[in-house]
């Protein structure tokens, strides 16, 4: 199956949001962050993704087994609208490891999140595994898979330092 990068379902991106790896990652974190009840700019969020993109958290079931939840950007928006109406969410990158080959980039982006920007300590940390595509004019998010830090899987020291 071929995926069109100019699909009509994608929103028009602000060129500054997608001009570099740094820019698209900063935009991704910025657009989902905000106070409880603050509407997010979902058109901006949509504009960061290639048609067919996926967001995939690794989740622990009550049985103790891990599973992968696969979502489209639209699925994430529906969940986010409900969650962000009730709770604030401020996610930021604290370290990064980047690999690039041609127009393909893979980023391990270590994150931490707070419910209020003023919270001293994060309520969660983890790693976002992000695949990006450059089409010659702009960057696209192809997929984001993430896993939160747990006692079983503490963040390794090597993922707490940025490596270009």
Give me the DSSP letters along 49-84: EEEEEEEEEEEE-TTS-EEE--B-HHHHHHHHHHHH
Residue pointed to by tokens 């929103």: 11
**Distance separating alpha carbons of residues 9 and 160, to the nearest angstrom:** 36
Q: Quick check: helix, strand or coil at residue 118?
A: coil
**Distance separating alpha carbons of residues 89 and 114, to the nearest angstrom:** 6
pLDDT at 64: 87
Enter the CATH code of domain 15-158: 3.10.450.50
The predicted-structure confidence for 18-66, as pLDDT tens digits, reads as follows: 999 999 999 999 999 999 999 999 999 999 999 999 999 999 999 989 9
Nearest partner of 91 among 69, 102, 71, 76, judged by Cα? 76
Structure tokens at 12: 């028009």
Residue pLDDT tens, the chain, 164 long: 565 555 444 679 999 999 999 999 999 999 999 999 999 999 999 999 999 999 999 999 999 899 999 999 999 999 999 999 999 999 999 999 999 999 999 999 999 999 999 999 999 999 999 999 999 999 999 999 999 999 999 999 999 998 87
**Distance separating alpha carbons of residues 88 and 35, to the nearest angstrom:** 4
Domain boundaries, the chain: 15-158
């Amino acid at each position: 199956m071929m995926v069109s990068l100019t699909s009509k379902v994608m929103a028009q991106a602000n060129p500054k949001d997608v001009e570099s790896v740094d820019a698209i990652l900063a935009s991704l974190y910025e657009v989902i962050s905000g106070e409880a009840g603050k509407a997010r700019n979902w058109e901006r969020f949509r504009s960061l993704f290639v048609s067919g993109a996926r967001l995939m958290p690794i989740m622990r079931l009550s049985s103790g087994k891990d599973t992968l939840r696969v979502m489209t950007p639209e699925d994430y928006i529906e969940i986010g609208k409900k969650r962000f109406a009730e709770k604030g969410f401020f996610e930021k990158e604290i370290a990064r490891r980047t690999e690039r080959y041609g127009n393909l980039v893979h980023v391990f982006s270590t994150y931490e999140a707070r419910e209020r920007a003023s919270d001293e300590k994060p309520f969660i940390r983890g790693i976002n595994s992000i695949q990006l595509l450059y089409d010659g004019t702009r960057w696209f998010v192809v997929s984001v898979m993430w896993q939160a830090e747990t006692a079983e899987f503490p963040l390794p020291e090597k993922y707490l330092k940025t490596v270009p």
